[in-house]
């Protein structure tokens, strides 16, 4: 039966129920004494009752509901429609014949009966359909134990009973009040700590973690219990993935390292963020990179008037452009194949699009590689930043947000020093420009290009070994969506000249990260997959810092964003060194590039050059921004 025909049948059913309810009201009013009923009054008023009540049922949206999934909201809609209808019917009959011959009690009985006979068939139909699905488990259906007897667990069990490929046989939940309770006929058999014995007792094939709001600490505990029970396990998406649209509620997936080492969802002031970006022209440099592409996804949701992507990698630009055009077909999108160090191309793009906000995420970031290629680090990370920042000032951009790194603090390598030099330039330019220049500094991002997570995945897939530089090496970690969202939050908060530091939580040992990833792959660290320690690479530190000793952190209005009370440099001195850097890059003089980098960033550690008498002290002064 077509959808239209089904709706016609439902309408005729409901009109029939209106007639039945009106008749039942008369019958009850006269104690089923048919001879005493004023049949003339009944039949003369019935058309008005049908017309009035039927119109209300239609206009309250009752026929947009599907009987197969009838639930409490549908019942509430029936009650609302019937009560409003009773009022409309009373007014219609009053205007028709002043309620002549209509017993007043029928106006009370009619809505009561109508609510019941409209709701009951819908409920019975759903129960019948659900019961029909309940017994259709495939013979080879996997026996499933669900962890979490909340709403997510209930919805999962209901979906599984419809599909038949998985057979839910029990719940575990730490809420002791739920023990012995049943959801869709499935018992809550115990707490999480009883996982191992429950798996053995019930013959469980797979465990599914239905805890989308669980903290990362809770996820680590549950995963450890699953590993101890030696049972396969899957999880539902996290709440932030559901909200962002990256997953659906019933999608099963393997537990990812983000679930264990990522952090709890952050609360953002979306109204403030949207107010700064919606309807604006927004430019993202490095738009095809890990952070840049996620920034593009988040910004696209907010409805900018134009989203401009700058990217020098043709493939990365193509990939993010296709994704955004598919997901946001009405988005005004401009994809520009541009090197940020190319002054002519950068100024051409900005002169055409005149962006209101720029997110500068383009940078080289591979520490060991850049140690021997200082010229490339300076050209892209420092001169590229200068080119884009000067163009932003020239073409009246309102806000310029530079994405920085924890490696810019007391840098021990060329990459970190180049990012610190870019910070210094943006802060210095802020004092000369009407554009707000804001810097956002954070640590490693889980799963970003060049991070250890993709490397470890490849090594585990190849059978190992997993290479870690040092047993004691630690890093701060943050998920890509969280980093991107906090960057946008900082943009909405900044007045110009600030260095915002994202709260990265506690640092995590990289060997712990490696062990967890091996376990999540179903292997045992040290037995199935070896962990090999290779020693620190050039320019690498055992631990990273998020702020300099003299940058006393201050709280902001957002609990996850801190403000570094930054040190300012003399503008003329900065300009002089940047010009010399440009000349050194043109001459491809690696040693001169490193020497000049040391001049601009005096706190830079040894990176192939010695500090000498030519190092310029930049008149650093602590200021409160």
Residue 79 lies in a domain: yes
Contact 208, 188 (CB under 8 A): no
SS3 content of the chain, % helix, strand, coil (to 5): 50, 15, 35
* 612 pLDDT tier (thresholds 50, 70, 90): very low
Contact 14, 61 (CB under 8 A): no
CA 105 to chain centre: 56
Euclidean distance between CA atoms 287 and 62, whole angstroms: 46
- Average pLDDT value over all residues in the chain: 81
Residue 295 and residue 183 share a domain: no
> In the listed set 255, 283, 308, which residue is the last one of a domain according to the structure?
255
Residue 615 lies in a domain: no
Q: State pLDDT tens for residues 65-105.
A: 556 556 677 778 888 888 898 899 888 888 887 878 788 88
Least confident of 13-27, 52-66, 279-293: 52-66
Q: State pLDDT tens for residues 478-491.
A: 777 778 888 888 88
Residue 96 burial (C-beta neighbours within 10 Å; 0-12, 13-18, 19+)? middle
Residue 588, pLDDT > 90, answer: yes
Contact 425, 385 (CB under 8 A): yes
Mean pLDDT, residues 452-474 taken together: 83
pLDDT at position 609: 37
Q: Cβ contacts of residue 216 below 8 Å, gap of 6+?
A: 259, 260, 261, 262, 263, 264
Phi and psi based region of residue 31 (left: phi greater than 0; alpha: psi -120 to 50; beta: remaining):
left
Residue 214, pLDDT > 80, answer: no
* 242 pLDDT tier (thresholds 50, 70, 90): very low
Residue 260 lies in a domain: no
> In the listed set 133, 166, 184, which residue is the last one of a domain according to the structure?
133
Euclidean distance between CA atoms 321 and 324, whole angstroms: 5
Q: State pLDDT tens for residues 360-406.
A: 999 998 888 999 899 999 999 999 999 999 999 999 999 999 999 88
Residue 309 and residue 249 share a domain: no
pTM: 0.63
Query: Residue 207 — φ and ψ, nearest 5°?
Result: -105, 135
Residue 363 lies in a domain: yes
Phi and psi based region of residue 478 (left: phi greater than 0; alpha: psi -120 to 50; beta: remaining):
beta
pLDDT at position 624: 33
Mean pLDDT, residues 592-599 taken together: 92
Identify the residue with better confidence: 490 or 613: 490
Residue 151 and residue 128 share a domain: no
Per-residue burial over 251-280, b if 16 or more Cβ lie within 10 Å, else e, is eeeebbbbbbbbbbbbebeeebbeebbeeb
Residue 617 lies in a domain: no
What is the full DSSP assignment across 200-260? Answer: HHHT-SEEEE--TT--HHHHHHHHHHHHHHT-EEEEPPPHHHHHHTSS-TT--BPPPHHHH
Q: Which of 194-208, 243-257, 340-354 has the highest mean pLDDT?
A: 340-354
CA 617 to chain centre: 44
Residue 98 and residue 179 share a domain: no
Listed in order, strand segments (DSSP E) in 270-398 are 281-285, 306-311, 333-337, 357-360
Residue 29 and residue 9 share a domain: yes
Residue 177 and residue 119 share a domain: no
Residue 128 and residue 85 share a domain: yes
Residue 169 and residue 80 share a domain: no
Mean pLDDT, residues 568-572 taken together: 84
How far CA 177 is from CA of 149, 185, 208, 448, 477, in Å, comes to 11, 17, 21, 42, 37
> In the listed set 101, 133, 165, which residue is the last one of a domain according to the structure?
133
Residue 410 and residue 376 share a domain: yes
Residue 178 lies in a domain: yes
Mean pLDDT, residues 484-508 taken together: 82
Residue 316 and residue 394 share a domain: yes
Mean pLDDT, residues 114-130 taken together: 78
Quickly tell me which residue has 């549950």 as its tokens.
222
3-state secondary structure 520-565: HCCCCECCCECEEECCCCCCCCCCCCCCCCCCCEEECCCCCEEEEC
How far CA 191 is from CA of 197, 210, 226, 231, in Å, comes to 11, 14, 13, 17
Contact 539, 367 (CB under 8 A): yes
Residue 594, pLDDT > 90, answer: yes
Residue 250, pLDDT > 60, answer: no
Specify the CATH number for the domain of residue 183. 3.40.50.720
Counted domains in the chain: 3
Q: State pLDDT tens for residues 144-203.
A: 898 988 888 888 887 777 666 778 888 998 888 888 887 877 888 888 888 998 988 888
CA 74 to chain centre: 30
Residue 526 lies in a domain: no
Contact 249, 152 (CB under 8 A): yes
Contact 496, 438 (CB under 8 A): yes
Residue 461 lies in a domain: no
For residue 209, which of 142, 144, 143, 146 has the smallest C-alpha distance?
A: 146
17: DSSP letter: H
Range(s) of the domain holding residue 374: 270-445+477-505+544-600
Residue 438, pLDDT > 90, answer: yes
Residue 432 and residue 405 share a domain: yes
Which residues on adjacent β-strands are paired with residue 438? Answer: 401
Residue 301 and residue 437 share a domain: yes
Euclidean distance between CA atoms 107 and 89, whole angstroms: 9
């Amino acid at each position: 039966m077509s959808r239209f025909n089904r709706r016609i049948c439902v309408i005729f059913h409901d009109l029939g129920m209106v007639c039945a309810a009106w008749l039942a009201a008369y019958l009850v009013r006269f104690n089923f004494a048919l001879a005493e009923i004023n049949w003339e009054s009944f039949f003369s008023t019935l058309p008005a009752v049908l017309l009035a009540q039927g119109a209300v049922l239609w206009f309250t949206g009752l026929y947009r509901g599907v009987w197969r999934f009838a639930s409490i909201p549908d019942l509430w809609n029936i009650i609302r429609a019937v009560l409003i209808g009773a009022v409309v019917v009373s007014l219609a009959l009053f205007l028709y014949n002043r309620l002549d011959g209509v017993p007043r009690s029928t106006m009370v009985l009619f809505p009561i009966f109508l609510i019941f006979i409209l709701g009951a068939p819908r409920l019975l139909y759903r129960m019948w359909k659900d019961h029909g699905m309940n017994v259709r488990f495939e013979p080879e259906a996997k026996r499933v134990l669900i962890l979490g007897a909340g709403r997510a667990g209930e919805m999962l069990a209901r979906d599984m009973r419809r599909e038949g490929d998985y057979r839910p046989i029990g719940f575990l939940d730490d809420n002791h009040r739920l023990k012995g309770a049943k959801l869709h006929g499935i018992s809550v058999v115990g707490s999480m700590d009883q996982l191992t014995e429950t798996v053995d007792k019930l013959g469980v094939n797979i465990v599914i973690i239905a805890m989308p709001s669980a903290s990362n600490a809770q996820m680590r505990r549950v995963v450890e219990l699953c590993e101890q029970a030696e049972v396969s396990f899957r999880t539902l998406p996290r709440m932030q993935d559901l909200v962002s649209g990256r997953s659906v509620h019933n999608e099963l997936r393997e537990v990812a390292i983000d679930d264990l080492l990522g952090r709890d969802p952050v609360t953002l002031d979306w109204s403030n963020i949207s107010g700064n970006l919606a309807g604006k022209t927004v430019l993202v440099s490095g738009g095809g990179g890990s952070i840049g592409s996620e920034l593009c996804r988040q910004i696209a949701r907010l409805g900018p008037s134009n989203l401009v992507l700058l990217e020098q990698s043709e493939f990365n630009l193509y990939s993010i452009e296709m994704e955004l055009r598919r997901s946001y077909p009405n988005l005004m999108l401009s994809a520009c194949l541009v090197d940020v160090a190319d002054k002519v191309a950068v100024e051409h793009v900005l002169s055409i699009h005149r962006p209101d906000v720029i997110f500068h995420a383009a940078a080289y970031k591979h520490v060991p590689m850049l140690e021997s290629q200082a010229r490339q680090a300076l050209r892209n990370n420092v001169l590229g930043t200068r080119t884009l920042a000067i163009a932003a000032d020239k073409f009246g951009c309102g806000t310029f947000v530079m994405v920085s790194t924890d490696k810019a603090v007391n840098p021990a390598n060329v990459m970190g020093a180049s990012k610190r030099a870019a910070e210094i330039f943006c802060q210095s330019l802020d004092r000369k420009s009407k554009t707000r220049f804001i810097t956002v500094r954070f640590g490693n991002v889980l799963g970003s290009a060049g991070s250890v997570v993709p490397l470890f995945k490849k090594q585990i897939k190849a059978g190992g070994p997993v290479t870690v530089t040092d047993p004691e090496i630690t890093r701060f970690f943050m998920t890509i969506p969280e980093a991107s969202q906090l960057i946008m939050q900082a943009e909405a908060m900044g007045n110009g000249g600030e260095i915002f530091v994202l709260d990265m939580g506690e640092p995590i040992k990289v060997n712990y990260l490696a062990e967890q990833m091996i376990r999540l792959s179903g292997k045992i660290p040290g037995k199935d997959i070896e962990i090999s320690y290779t020693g620190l690479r050039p320019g690498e530190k055992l631990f990273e810092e998020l702020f300099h000793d003299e940058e006393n952190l201050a709280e902001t209005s957002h609990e996850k964003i801190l403000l570094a009370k930054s040190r300012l440099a003399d503008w003329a001195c900065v300009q002089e060194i940047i010009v010399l850097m440009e000349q050194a890059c043109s001459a491809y003089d690696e040693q001169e590039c490193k020497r000049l980098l040391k001049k601009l960033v005096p706190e830079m550690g040894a990176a192939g050059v010695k500090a000498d008498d030519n190092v310029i002290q930049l008149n650093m002064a602590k200021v409160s921004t």
